[in-house]
Amino acid sequence: MGVTIKDVAKEAGVSVATVSRVVNGMPNVNEEMKAQVEKAIARLGYKPNQLAKGLKNNVTNTIGVVVTDISDPFIIGVTRAAEKILRPEGYSLLMASTDNDEKKERECIDMMDSKCVDGLIISPVSNDIATFLKAGMYPVAAFDRNTLSHIYDTVYVDKEKAMFSAVDYLLKRGHTNIAMISGEKKLSTNFDRYNGYLRAFFENDQVARKENLLFGTFSRAYGMKAFKQLVTRKEAPTAVISGSATLTEGILIQVRKMGVRIPEDISLISFGALSLQDLIEPQITHSKEMQEEIGTHIGEMLLSRLRTPNLPVRLKVLESNIIEGDSVKTINL
Amino acid sequence: MGVTIKDVAKEAGVSVATVSRVVNGMPNVNEEMKAQVEKAIARLGYKPNQLAKGLKNNVTNTIGVVVTDISDPFIIGVTRAAEKILRPEGYSLLMASTDNDEKKERECIDMMDSKCVDGLIISPVSNDIATFLKAGMYPVAAFDRNTLSHIYDTVYVDKEKAMFSAVDYLLKRGHTNIAMISGEKKLSTNFDRYNGYLRAFFENDQVARKENLLFGTFSRAYGMKAFKQLVTRKEAPTAVISGSATLTEGILIQVRKMGVRIPEDISLISFGALSLQDLIEPQITHSKEMQEEIGTHIGEMLLSRLRTPNLPVRLKVLESNIIEGDSVKTINL
DNA sequence: TCTATATAAGAAAACGTTTTCAATATTTTG
DNA sequence: CAAAATATTGAAAACGTTTTCTTATATAGA
């Protein structure tokens, strides 16, 4: 469609091979010729076709990003941080949302595959992703879920520990009826949280109640719904742990709607800070989502593996501590 | 690298032409052969190489998205809405941020060009973008800036009118010392605002002051800085208009930091609602950014033009009305 | 039965690159 | 100055597709 290397060759009166050599800065090309060719390139405005280049060289300078939802602030934060690492190295990002749907995830990966991405950034939904991913055999970096950490480079926050800390924090302050609102049950991140939740109860010699663990979707809507359900129970929990910033937003909207007071009526701990945390009353006690750190690590891991493919598989576990606000009340025993 | 059409042909004992015909559902292929080929495809797990396909057919099923910053909530909102339209039709999104830098913008467009995107979504920075964009001649849909509305399909919010409404609203309530905090001065959107600002003063027989128009970047940091500067002036404005939700966030953080009261000490109108608007005191009087509407229109425009390229150029102008909150005080004259 | 027409399948060119290989021109060396 | 080494160039194959053009086979018409 546009100007091809052949056009440049004709314009400069040389062969396409020579033009290619000039374009790619190969040695052994006469200075005079080189100047000729460069002039022709400028005159015609030639840009190498990356499709053809990719087909020949097996390199597209494109990284696929397969995530749950590209409009989720957490995901965006991670992606943007990774982009900051990858873009300066010449990579661009091909993005697709899976909406936490295994079928869509598979489609996305197939698409990335057939578009020959050089690498993949993924927050895996399905556990058997490896079976249909291995065909490609390009570098993969996973985050937020640790189901694939034995196969692919992974960076994730230790959710078991984070949840343990949150529950322990609450138990130590006299809460025992502690609810957790989280996203899709099948995600490994939720299994980790579940374990952390149980361990905290176990170590504090308390007994957890099954009905206090609520799973739905990482959305405002579910945050609202779940919180409402909790509050209207006969034995409403004295504290709630929210699984993500987005869920917390929903919870807070519901809180205001129902006129519930935090922390007087119910205590709240959030996984992930709100984007306008500072402007909201009360300050929410939370553990950081660490989008920046995750994204940066993901970018760097991918980059290093693109350069030296047969590195050993790496796992980067980040720890997130509780940052105290004013949303937890101490109960007198 | 992976399984090619040649492998399938060999496996099925037919020619590549036949395989291609089967894959693309072309007529004139024997049922028996077809079954053979399909079995071979399944056995080998063949996926057509989109690079090769794109090279041959001039179709990549990829849409380039060249925007100021992929982590800006407004941009994300638009992009996600467009993705909802485009993805089901088989397109995926190749994203790049320009950071409002003309050079970067040009690089991004060149990159999209050389990766042979089928179409482009763009919020243009530079005004002479058309000169280096025309080479490609693929469908382009622009938003948020109207500099290219005579050349490319464009959807944008009438910022002149929106700003007029905001200023008029304030003037009618007794404010005359009205500041505006906005982003990069060179952007057309700011020129429109400037015009709206002046027109409101003119129609209300008031005189505008040049020093009340502040331009910087669409960032929290600039919102904080500009607001501080305004408030510490000897003749501080009685009202501030913020050019974007992100700027408003910065302003509000500064407001809290400095202990300024809204609207008692200073009134505020924001272009764009905060994501947690409902949770913040006071409710901010604002005009909607309309991300969803913009993104949906962009997606639909692009889609229709991909299908029928020689449609006349379309311009969709959206109107945004003032939504009243509690952040504007009426001054007794 | 012989020719005309559909139908089915393959061979090969093309898309825009890179790269190997062979050919030529230039320089160095003895 | 001849031979060997080196530097420069171009022709052509290859990457994985699609598609045009043949060709072979089957069906129909006379």
* Percent of chain B scoring above 70 in pLDDT: 98
Q: Of B316, B213, B3, B279, which Cα lies nearest the Cα of A224?
A: B279
Query: How many angstroms separate the CA of A15 from the C1' of D10?
Result: 6
Which 8-state DSSP code applies to residue B236? Answer: -
Q: Are residues A258 and A165 in the same domain?
A: yes
> What's the rounded mean pLDDT across residues B81-101?
92
Task: Determine the Cα–Cα distance for residues A133 and A131; give it in Å rounded to an integer.
Answer: 6
B28 touches chain A (CB under 8 A): no
Say if residue A4's pLDDT is above 80: yes
CATH code of B128's domain: 3.40.50.2300
- DSSP code string of B129-165: HHHHHTTT---EEEES--TTTTTSEEEEE-HHHHHHH
CA-to-C1' span, A58 to D14 (A): 13
Same domain flag for A179 and A145: no
- The model carries a pTM of 0.90
Q: B78: nearest CA in chain A? A: A71
Residue with tokens 């992976």: B2
Q: What is the pLDDT of residue B310?
A: 86
pLDDT digits (tens, 9 = 90+) for A151-207: 899 999 999 999 999 999 999 999 999 999 999 998 889 999 999 999 999 999 999
How many structural domains are present in chain A? Answer: 3
For chain B, give the percent of residues with pLDDT over 90: 81
Question: pLDDT: is A31 or A204 the higher one?
Answer: A204
Judged by a CB distance cut-off of 8 A, whether residue A331 touches chain B is no
Question: Does A328 map to a domain?
Answer: no
* Residue B248 DSSP SS3: helix
* Residue B324 belongs to some domain of the structure: no
What is the CATH classification number for the domain harbouring B21? Answer: 1.10.260.40
In a domain, B20, yes or no: yes
Nucleotide with minimal C1' distance from the CA of B24 is D18
Give residue A332's pLDDT. 76
Is B79 part of any domain?
A: yes
* Residue B20 confidence (pLDDT) above 80: yes
Judge if A139 and A182 occupy the same domain: no
What residues 141-180 of chain B have any CB closer than 8 A to a CB of chain A? none
Question: Looking at the structure, do residues B234 and B171 belong to the same domain, yes or no?
Answer: yes
**pLDDT for the residue B147:** 84
pLDDT category of residue A136 using cuts at 50, 70 and 90: low
- The 10s digit of each residue's pLDDT in B59-80 is 999 999 999 988 888 999 999 9
Asked whether strand C has any atom less than 7 Å from the CB of A59, the reply is no
Distance CA A59, CA A53 (A): 7
- Same domain for A189 and A71? no
Domain annotation covers residue B263: yes
Note the pLDDT tens digit of each residue in B36-63. Answer: 999 999 999 999 999 999 999 999 999 9
Domain contains A329: no
Cα dihedral sign, B329-B330-B332-B333: positive
Banded model confidence at residue A130, pLDDT cuts 50, 70, 90: confident
- Which pLDDT does position A134 carry in this prediction? 66
CA atoms within 13 A on the CB side of A3: 17
Contacts of B279 in chain A (CB under 8 A): 252-253, 256, 280
Q: Are B88 and B108 in contact (CB under 8 A)?
A: no
- Chain C bases closer than 7 A to any CB of the protein: 7-12, 14-20
Domain assignment of residue A241, yes or no: yes
Please check whether strand C approaches the CB of A48 to within 7 Å.
Answer: yes
Q: Please give the share of chain A, as a percent, with pLDDT higher than 70.
A: 98
Q: Are residues B86 and B187 in the same domain?
A: no
Distance B19 CA to D11 C1' (A): 32
* A332 domain residue, yes or no: no
| Residue found under tokens 């007198």 | A332
Per-residue model confidence as pLDDT tens digits over B120-157? 999 988 877 877 776 557 899 999 888 888 889 999 99
**Element counts in chain B: helices (H) and strands (E):** 12, 12
* B271, B229: one domain: yes
Q: Is B26 on the interface with A (CB under 8 A)?
A: no
What per-residue confidence (pLDDT) applies to B332? 76
- Mean pLDDT computed over every residue of chain B: 93
The vertex-B88 CA angle with B151 and B150, nearest 5°, equals 5
Q: Does one domain contain both A229 and A179?
A: yes
Give residue numbers, 17 to 36 of A, with CB < 7 Å from strand C: 17, 20-21, 23-24
Collapsing DSSP to helix, strand or coil, B97 comes out as strand
Q: Is A154 helix (H, G, I), strand (E, B) or coil?
A: strand
* Pair (A25, A111) in one structural domain: no
For A291-322, the pLDDT digits (tens) are 999 999 999 999 999 999 889 999 999 999 99
B86 and B152 assigned to the same domain: yes
The pLDDT, as a whole number, for residue A333 is 63
| Residue B133: Cβ-neighbour burial (10 angstroms; 0-12, 13-18, 19+) | buried
* Interatomic distance A56 CA / D16 C1' (Å): 9
The answer on B138 and B123 residing in a single domain is: yes
Closest residue (CA) to C1' of nucleotide C6 is B28
| Smallest CA–C1' separation from B116, nucleotide | C16
Residue type, B297: H
pLDDT, tens digit (0-9, with 9 covering 90-100), for A54-86: 999 999 999 999 999 888 889 999 999 999 999
Tell me which amino acid residue A56 is: K
Say if residue B313's pLDDT is above 80: yes
In a shared domain, residues B266 and B194: yes
Domain enclosing residue A182, as ranges? 159-288
Average pLDDT, rounded, for chain A:
93
